[in-house]
Structure 1
Amino acid sequence: MTILMEKPELVSQSDCQNHVDESKELVLDGGFPVPKSLSGEGFLAPEINSFGNSFRDYNAESERQKSVEEFYKQQHVNQTYDFVQKMREEYSKLNRMEMSIWECCELLNEVVDDSDPDLDEPQIQHLLQSAEAIRKDYPNEDWLHLTALIHDLGKVLLLPKFGGLPQWAVVGDTFPLGCAFDEANIHHKYFKENPDYNNPSYNTKNGIYWDGCGLENVTISWGHDDYMYLVAKENGTTLPSAGLFIIRYHSLYPLHKEEAYMQFVNDEDKENLKWLRIFNKYDLYSKSKVAVDVEKVKPYYLSLIEKYFPAKLKW
């Protein structure tokens, strides 16, 4: 499988004088058929996932798709504004355990994401596949390699030692609370059963927010994104703001893919969205049944972890 990506003019986080403006070719070996045409952004992506279906096809008839839809029903009904506030208060204490980033990566061998219609492999492989894919095309942006490696570490919330939260409280596409549920959200129909749906404070377009308020001021559904953001920030990571933005909002597909809720973004969000949209293509299309040799790439990622994080983190 070949992915072609025409890079936009961006100021590098590692060197503000260098612009990301070269077209490069990323070659992956997932065995996907080559698509017939380029997208409008000049990005050549696989049309078929590892199950033989289109990527992020939430309507394809299969047992996997049925379980994914049931997942979203539970998520849309149970994720409320008050629930998110409660989760953020509880997990911001970071009192579950202390461990390194790599130790957390290894814990993900126990996790499979029920919300993902494209892959059912252990999460450690997805992390390494996306990180290695980005590394090939953006060799000088080491912060982006590490961001890819750690972006899903918050999925440890599924494990008993982290509270054993249900899948709907950890994974899946995220969305704002405290305002109307935009129809761009996957399986939007299930929001009608959410207690916030008929709340007059929350069911207008802006709800409790205002135009240009910034995503920092918008409450997003609770899950692994927000948890890993809290862990990274509170443990003093030196990742650039774009890295933290990717970690926190990479599942906010209604915004960065469908451009819903754009009235809330500010100028800083707009700049970080450029990097998130680059990252998202690798996050999504690098999924493969072909495993990365963990021991071979481990020394490189350990060096990045040492550069951007303390040896032990509070989780």
Structure 2
Amino acid sequence: MDISDFKINGQLDFVQKDVSEFRDYTIDDKDPVKERVRRTYRLMHLNQTVDYVKKCRDEWLKFNHAKMTVREALEKLNDLIDESDPDADFPNMIHAFQTAERARKEYPQHDWLHLTALIHDMGKVMAFYDVPQWAVVGDTFVVGCEWTENIVYRNESFEGNPDGSNPKYNTKYGMYEPNTGLDNLLLSWGHDEYLYNVLKHNKSKLPKQALNIIRFHSFYPWHTFGDYEHLMKPEDEETKNWVLIFNRYDLYTKSTVIPDVDALWPYYQGLIDKYAPGALEW
């Protein structure tokens, strides 16, 4: 699949508000949404350690928590509001269809991208199985090395995280070799890595590019701000470009315009049947 067929930086003529208003993490203790977001990241950055991530991987990558179809998982998201998101104070399933419909409009011929956009947050179903949202949602970052400057609330929210005082983990490279590559990094636990592994385990027919978009779409310090370049391989640049193409739909479609979900289901059910049919093991 040739990435040159896609626009990495296109016109954002579909955006419903000024681009500068998205991802506003300024602190305002009188704003309940901003305080909810800051509190979620504080708990994430306090508790996401190397040991915690390994524990989550051991628990969740056994795929023994549930069996459900893609549609059933997406419908669960109708009862989930992402506590880390300053831009969307509405159920996550609405965001899923907003994202998918924009990708469909710009690239009608690439149905795999439409489905990728629809399901990209589906790993958030973990929140319905007693997992706190700080281990499900939000931007991801690398554990096992120093925390980079472009992590949200970086200057205050990691205080008390034990990895910060562990010399194995608190240096530039930490437990990694230079240029080890994306595949060899341990990221904070969340819905991205979980869904990526669920789809692989269930032998989804989505292309590799789709799986990488899902796996790294929340890794903002890397794909948007350029952190961790010292840990990247040259081939990771193509993955970044795919994620940036997708990011236009993930971020900038969040608005009060609500899609007609019932009318859209038949089209997307066809894509589910094509790329990830039947009951999946979660």
TM-score normalised over the length of structure 1: 0.84
Distance across 2 between alignment mates of 1:309 and 1:66: 37
The one-letter code matched in structure 2 to 1:292 is P
Deviation at 1:29, TM superposition (A): 7.7
Distance across 1 between alignment mates of 2:42 and 2:8: 42
Q: Matches of residues 1-12 of structure 1 in structure 2 within 5 Å?
A: 11-12=2-3
Deviation at 1:270, TM superposition (A): 1.3
**Does the Cα contact within 8 Å between 1:174 and 1:220 map onto a contact in 2?**
yes
Deviation at 1:23, TM superposition (A): 9.2
**Structure 1 unaligned residues grouped into runs of 5+:** 1-9, 13-17, 33-45, 49-53
1:185 to 151, 157, 162: 151
Distance across 1 between alignment mates of 2:24 and 2:217: 18
1:131 to 93, 100, 105: 100
Q: Matches of residues 84-99 of structure 1 in structure 2 within 5 Å?
A: 84-99=53-68
Q: Matches of residues 37-76 of structure 1 in structure 2 within 5 Å?
A: 46-47=18-19, 54-59=21-26, 61=28, 62-76=31-45
1:230 to 178, 181, 197: 197
Name the Cα RMSD after superposition.
Answer: 1.9
**Structure 2 unaligned residues grouped into runs of 5+:** none
Deviation at 1:191, TM superposition (A): 1.4
**Does the Cα contact within 8 Å between 2:124 and 2:137 map onto a contact in 1?**
yes
2:122 to 143, 153, 165: 153
The one-letter code matched in structure 2 to 1:216 is D
Q: Matches of residues 171-182 of structure 1 in structure 2 within 5 Å?
A: 171-182=137-148
Deviation at 1:20, TM superposition (A): 3.2
With a CA cutoff of 8 Å and minimum separation of 6, indicate the structure with the bigger relative contact order: 2
Distance across 2 between alignment mates of 1:20 and 1:284: 17
**Does the Cα contact within 8 Å between 1:25 and 1:137 map onto a contact in 2?**
no
The one-letter code matched in structure 1 to 2:2 is V
The aligned counterpart of 1:143 is: 112
**Does the Cα contact within 8 Å between 1:128 and 1:292 map onto a contact in 2?**
yes
The aligned counterpart of 2:212 is: 245
Distance across 2 between alignment mates of 1:170 and 1:225: 8
Q: 1:111 to 1:134 in 2, by over 3 A?
A: same
Q: Percent identity?
A: 46
Deviation at 1:213, TM superposition (A): 1.1
1:112 to 63, 67, 81: 81
Deviation at 1:28, TM superposition (A): 3.9
The aligned counterpart of 1:36 is: none
**C-alpha offsets along residues 194-240 of structure 1, whole Å, 9 cap, x if unaligned?**
11001100011111112221111110000111111111110001111
The one-letter code matched in structure 1 to 2:265 is K
Aligned length: 279
Higher helix share: 2
The aligned counterpart of 2:132 is: 166
